[in-house]
Amino acid sequence: MTDPGKIATGAFDYHLPEENIPRYPRSEREESNLLVYNRGSLKHDVFRNLSYYVPEGHHMVYNNARVVYARLMFRKDTGAEIEIFCLEPQKPADYEKAFQQKEQTEWQCLVGNLKKWKGHSLIQSLTIKEQRVTLRARQLSRNEQYVVVHFSWDNPHVSFGQILDDAGKVPIPPYLKRESEPIDKTRYQTVYSKIRGSVAAPTAGLHFTEDVFRSLEEKNITSSEVTLHVGAGTFRPVTAETAEQHDMHTEHFSVSRDAIEQLTENQPHLLAVGTTTLRTLESLYWLGVKLSGQEPGDGKITLEQWEYRELRGDMPVGEALDHIRQYMVVHDLDHFEASTRIMIVPGYPFKLTGGLITNFHQPRSTLLMLVAAFVGSDWKKIYQHALNQDFRFLSYGDSSLLFPKST
């Protein structure tokens, strides 16, 4: 493995013109451009023809995370507007339980215009399903990055999930340089999204439609789903000089027992839809290796940023997944839940992922480093071709299908 301390982040910089960053999605999802990289060769098509390029026998894995309308706006009597961006539930810590809470809950948040919030409660009057609700937000604690906010409301018939659905705004990326609009409620969401908890969309899936799914099924391409809740850290720029110096954010994921079985049966022909799915698949391998040794004493299963460098990497994939399956059987679990900070950079030894569908990412980002790890130095050729052909980049941009030379 390559020493991350010797990987200069500046090597993943490139010039991205503003005109290549669309502020709105295309009129039709499947009309996005598709750049196919197949072991060194490049081909240009449209996404509706994806099935032509997915080999028979491959198994596609989707991230079914659903974006939460996580931005709540409060206005003080002075007129100052304060935005509270709900990132992760603290009490209860489980996403679905937090959405179901009645009357109160606590969340880790980012706060816009924080200097104007002097410690008193913020109040907002809402109408949820024709019921009046008074929502209050109070600071509990803060550090350099986050504020823990206690939310309370005076209607026991209304859940926090309903408040976010009705009063929250879609957390579109800051580089779109606009406020969220009604179109974002449908288009900044995959058609197969199910499990609420993400504050950013798994954008590789935004191009899929029922017609695309139908064409894949006609080719007998099978599929399964995982859930990784995309965090706001995915937008954080890399400012460190080396990959080792970057502090990778934590993301939580869940995989069903049935999905584990399907991954075992279909590897090594797994095609990850999105970098979030790829991170989940690769994390599963290393966590299986960890569980082969000793169970976590606190019951929390986590993979740290560079931990894979210290673990045994010669364990067969089926054996690693079997350790997860055994853990689930022993603990009578339907879903394997864990968190990961894995940072995938050039030199990383891919274990489960044989192909990747992904959008085009920001310069000097952890996602671009992941792509570079997957296709090698050809990432430069891929990105230059996309720029030359006026591809759209980032969240509402075009797509790529990548098969590395090593598979």
The arithmetic mean of pLDDT across residues 170-195, rounded, is 94
User: In whole angstroms, what is the distance from residue 207 CA to residue 359 CA?
Assistant: 10
Q: What is the pTM of this model?
A: 0.93
Taking CA atoms, 244 is separated from 5, 247, 283, 378, in Å, by 5, 8, 18, 22
For CATH 3.40.1780.10, the residue range(s) in the chain are 4-66+186-403
Query: How much is the pLDDT for 26?
Result: 97
Rounded to a whole number, what is the distance in angstroms from the first to the last CA of the chain? 18
Confidence of residue 130 (pLDDT cuts 50, 70, 90): confident
User: Taking 70 as the threshold, does the pLDDT of residue 65 lie above it?
Assistant: yes
Among residues 22, 43, 16, 46, the alpha carbon closest in space to that of 34 is found at 46
Pairing of strands 335-340, 251-256: antiparallel
User: In whole angstroms, what is the distance from residue 1 CA to residue 10 CA?
Assistant: 20
Computed over every residue of the chain, the mean pLDDT equals 93
Query: How much is the pLDDT for 126?
Result: 92
**Kind plus residue range of the DSSP H or E element containing 266:** helix 257-266
State the amino acid at position 343 in one-letter form. Answer: M
Query: How much is the pLDDT for 365?
Result: 94
Query: How much is the pLDDT for 145?
Result: 79
Query: How much is the pLDDT for 385?
Result: 97
The arithmetic mean of pLDDT across residues 205-219, rounded, is 97
Architecture of domain 4-66+186-403: 3-Layer(aba) Sandwich (3.40)
User: Taking 90 as the threshold, does the pLDDT of residue 326 lie above it?
Assistant: yes
Taking CA atoms, 143 is separated from 88, 93, 110, 151, 236, in Å, by 15, 19, 11, 18, 17
State the amino acid at position 71 in one-letter form. Answer: R
Residue partners of 377: CB distance under 8 A and separation at least 6: none
